[in-house]
Chains A and B, each alone.
Chain A
Amino acid sequence: MIRRWVAPVFWTALLALFVVDQTVTKGILGMLCPGQVNLLYPRADLLSLTLEHLALVATSSALAAIVGVGAGLAVTRPWGTLFRPLADRLAAFGQTFPPAAVLALTIPWLGFGFAPTVLGLWLYGTLPVLRGTLVGLGQVSVSLLDAGRGLGFGPLSLFLQVEGPLAFPYLWSGLRSSVVVNVGTAALGATVGAGGLGAPIVSGLVTQNYAFLLEGAIASGLLALTVDAWFGVVARPNPSS
């Protein structure tokens, strides 16, 4: 029971350690880049950058979850099957489409900044969630639902007690991968004025300052690992597997 909390707590601790206290950050960066004078990205402190990044990811992923799960649910109901091929195609397309390209395509029309980036991340993030939802709902056997209906489960209780729980692990996996990729794509948001942890990285690349580079890279890396680990807490294994 306790084991599943080890990873998330560990990564959160590392993240907090690196991000919260400036002296720690300076110390680590100083060790890694001896001889570098400017160690910390000047335009914003690491903590607010991290929170900014988190805000980008959280907002877009929450929206993506709502739309992705909603669409997946709608398309698997009898009244929604008309749109199922479209949903399947979209979900498959999302796997081929490069994440970096999505910002490049949405920004020119939506402008620069926080909100347009959230929009772009949202649109792209919906697809893996949709895929997970479709896979999860699709693998629930029809005869199982028939048995449930025959026993007297109403549509809502059938979904809440049978279909939903059985589909959930796949949905969760889709959501997890969507959010983790989102953390990575959001880093590129720095190139379109959205802020976040990409900013020190890009700045470091431009000015050849490896400390800035590492500041952003380590922080965003730890953030991604932390988020992924927290998703792992609810990775309930399916009893039938």
Chain B
Amino acid sequence: MTIAFDEVRMLYGSQVALDGLTLTLAHRELTVLVGPSGSGKSTLLRTINHLVVPTSGTVTLDGRRVDSWKPEDLRRGIGYGIQSVGLFPHHTVGKNIAAVPSLLKWSRAKIADRVEELLVLVGLDPSRYRDRYPHELSGGEAQRVGVARALAADPPLLLLDEPFSAVDPVTRLRLQGEFLSIQKTLHKTVVFVTHDVDEAIRLADRIVLLDHGQVVQYDTPETLLDRPATPFAARFLGSDRALKRLSRRTVAEYAKPAPRAVLDRGKLGPVTGGPSRFVWVTDTEGRLLGSLDTELLTGTDPGAVLSPAGEDLVISRQASLREALSVMVGTGARALPVVEADRLWGEIRLHDIEGAGQQSALRVAEP
């Protein structure tokens, strides 16, 4: 579903909320509208489902004007989630999720199946949550139900207005990650509003940076980070742009095979994965035990010179390069074991991270 804005202007009295925006958002992409407070991002979002009627200009979905539908019909085909979630307090979780399907007159059986399916999708156990009431839910749980409710009628387009802003930072990160994996499965066209630059960079396929009702830049996060179009954009992205770029890359993309040896009943096996002074030591199952400086090996007991692996010195495959860098900076390690389900999967080196950071810069230099 392509969304096109043509000279969209929105005035509240004498205040300009949207200043003649012309923009086309791509099909099946997660577009994030980001900008400071008052930049018009929520207003722009709400013109898509006709909750805001522009003073002038048109908004079209796949070429058809948004106001050519009856508003209710339009909105039932679009998923909508807001910051305060807005779950109906007098309906159970199940009934909340069933809101739009009920309006669309689905059969009861179909609705029940869908509710179950969605609760699983957002990570809530249906048997425990379906009959609960909103006031019994934590902030994170409520947000998940909100997302489920937005997805309930399987709309091709999803509008989300700061859905994760009202929860604590830890929960927010988790929700972002889960949303990303949901989106990888569903591939919906999503328009997502946030004021948090890091959230935008982490989630977006493309970012629309807004300021005072105008589009400052519309690009992929990498391009935005490499080449901010205006001083405002550069300031908004923050002076740690290079680090932010790293949050878009995962460890898995840049990890290398780890030089490793197996410790079996006190005896160290041969070193595989390339010549290296420092090796990672695993047991026969591949579980990480620690690291070892081969020059300190005197012969008899490898266990004596083994530095055991600590929890804070490992990194997972899905972690971002930025997290990996943070661990390295914090601990002074120049390489980290990449671990999956306790097993040593590979190694990530500081050198490789530096390379990733400069990679896009190199790309720019090429014609």
Contacts and interface: CB of A to CB of B under 8 A. Distances in A.
Interface of A: 141, 143-144, 146-154, 157, 161-162, 165-166, 238-240
A146 B99 contact: no
A165 B88 CA distance: 10
A230 B46 CA distance: 46
B86 A239 contact: no
B123 interface: no
B49 interface: yes
B103 A152 contact: yes
Nearest to B95: A161
Contact of A152 (B73, B86, B135): B73
B171 to A, nearest CB: 20
A151 B75 contact: yes
Interface in B73-119: 73-78, 80, 82, 84-90, 99-100, 103
A152 B82 contact: no
Given A150-B49, A162-B88, A239-B135, 4 more contacts: A143-B82, A148-B88, A149-B51, A151-B150
Given A148-B88, A150-B49, A151-B99, A240 B72 contact: no
Interface of B: 46, 49, 51, 71-78, 80, 82, 84-90, 99-100, 103, 133-135, 149-150, 159
A152 B100 contact: yes
B321 to A, nearest CB: 37
A151 B90 contact: no
A154 B72 contact: yes
Contact of B80 (A151, A154, A157): A151
Contacts of A146: 51, 82, 86
A152 B75 contact: yes
A151 B51 contact: no
Contacts of A238: 89-90
A194 B343 CA distance: 91
A161 B87 CA distance: 13
Contacts of A150: 46, 49, 51, 75, 80, 82, 159
Given A143-B84, A144-B88, A147-B86, A152 B51 contact: no
A240 to B, nearest CB: 4
Nearest to B153: A152
A166 B90 CA distance: 7
Contacts of B103: 151-153, 157
Nearest to A154: B72
Contacts of B149: 151
Contacts of B85: 147
Contacts of B51: 146, 149-150
Contacts of A152: 72-78, 100, 103
Contact of A149 (B75, B89, B159): B75
Contacts of A149: 51, 75
A153 B104 CA distance: 10
Contacts of A157: 103
15 contacts: A143-B86, A144-B84, A146-B86, A147-B84, A148-B86, A149-B51, A150-B51, A151-B75, A151-B150, A152-B100, A153-B72, A154-B72, A166-B90, A239-B133, A239-B135
Contacts of B159: 150
B86 A144 contact: yes
A236 B365 CA distance: 70
B124 to A, nearest CB: 19
A162 B102 CA distance: 14
Contacts of A151: 75-76, 80, 99-100, 103, 149-150
A152 B134 CA distance: 20
A151 B71 CA distance: 10
Given A147-B80, A157-B103, A240 B89 contact: yes
A16 to B, nearest CB: 36
